[in-house]
Structure 1
Amino acid sequence: MKRYMFLTGALSLALLACSGDDVSGTSDSLESSAAENESSSSLLVEESSSSLEASSSSMQESSSSTDFALCKVRGDWGSRGGCAETPPSGHGDLWSTGNLKVKTASLIDPASLGDRAGEFFFETDSAEGGGSEIIWTERIFVIPEFKGLLEANIHLVTGTLPYNPFCNIGFNVAGFDSSGNAISADVSDWNGICVLYEGSISPTIQLDLGDSLNQKMGHSLPSVKMVSQKEPQCYEWSQFKQPDLEEGYEAISGEEAAKKVVRIVFHFQEQPNEEFYGHEDIEFIAIGTNRDE
């Protein structure tokens, strides 16, 4: 449904995005609602407060005993006594929808990080002859650039490529040193990665180990293929495998690769869907580690 709306309304939405008008709405209704709540009976507030205190311990017990993988992409879902989903919001210990950066600094020794640690990057196949693009969206609206929402319409265009077109969305783990060289990081204690994602195309998660090691591996990066589902999916480092590793190139396990990661990449590459002119909708809601605490 979203893809149909995008295709039929793309022209008008693009014009709207270019006009510079704020299409995100206002907070008038929220302020009005808050004012009404403040004027409520103090007796009701006191009764509500005592009720919440009485249920606090049972909620914590329920949350700690829940064994859903969604807890690893944790946040406000856990505060409801377990890990019940409350779309479209979502929180992860690495990235939550609305954040401009990934919180690698909270999980890696800050002293080992460089410039631009946790920053997102976005790549297309244009330098190799493709015509693919990432069109950022917010619901059915086109927006001019990434603003913390990993929601987009990926347009796959083959151009002169001898292979399927692609787009990449990813983030730098440790950033760059003062000379501009990429820094690798040991993220083995993340135990893997968890993602809450839904889309009409499924990405492959790749562990980018930097130019030197990538070349030694014949650019066969340790990878795992995701699925499209509105449920959390978690992958251990041991599940990351090198696809089509050619003879003569260096082999590496997912666990070993996790000790020297430069970038984590969500790689979208498919033959363009002719029915929708190569357009595919994607949305990341939360990204987290696979840690149990």
Structure 2
Amino acid sequence: MDITLHIGAHRTATTTFQTYLQDNTDHLARNGIAWWGPKRTRNGLLSGIVPLPGLLPPERQFARAAGRIGLHLDRAAQQGMRQLIVTEENMLGAPRANLRAGTLYPHAGMRIGRYLAAFGGRTGRIALSIRSPDYYWASCMAFALARGHGVPGPEQLARLVAADRSWRDVISDIACAAPGVPILVMTHEAHGAQPEQRLWHMTGGSLLAPMTHARNWLNRAPDLARLRGILRDRGRDPQALPAGEGRWMPFDAGQQARMRESYMDDLFWLRAGADGMAVLAEDDADGQWSDAWTGTGAAAAQLPPGELRRGQDGIEKGRMVGNR
């Protein structure tokens, strides 16, 4: 069975993708594709791969987790599944830990190495979504503020801007931990609102992905109006946030420009071959989906965007605090 680990990153429309898979589970199963998402992975299945404080020693926790995974994989194979997508962004780390460290996923290599080992060397592909760091950090901070954290000050913002760890470093760490495992990189800007394209790329172009429920946009970061209301409800000054409506962008224009320049450097590196470490999924301007691995394509369905839904459906629980 071909296994793809979709490891995030956070704040790159992972909930939208996971809900799309949920809504199309029957269609996928008829085509021999199974998927595991947070409702399964955070219900004990992956617990112990990264050791948790407790009575059991780390090696015992890991052995139990590997055993559970093996049983579930065997069951899926017996049901006739030929492909499995495991979509769990907490494999990579947690946004709160990133904010605390002031950098992107500092333990990505160690964590992914442990997950690959727990899957018994059966992983055929790793899929990673990335996003321009100014919007990535802004979205993380909006969620953190909504969950009780304070408004970041100038020093914290400057620290994030000055951080020298970029997506290239994250990808390099993953590649070192996963020798021989292909790494597929997709940008949030190109694929965040198109889960059917993500699925097509993750399956190596083997499935013409369904368009059903493909435009339900979920779990967007809270906007300025909502964040001001949250501060007001806590008895804090809503004027700590800027005036206006829409998306909260805590970085000034100069800081945004610096972070976007770093992102452009990462994308240039990926398009130039990423030193053989990863492949960037990009689609042609004429609507043709080009498989990152083979160069073959499939015509993208040109459908109206449809209604976008906002909000949370419970699947996001625990996303900011890591595995549970």
TM-score class, shorter-chain normalisation, is: under 0.3
Higher helix share: 2
Q: TM-score, normalised by structure 2?
A: 0.23
Question: Which structure dedicates a bigger proportion of its chain to strand?
Answer: 1
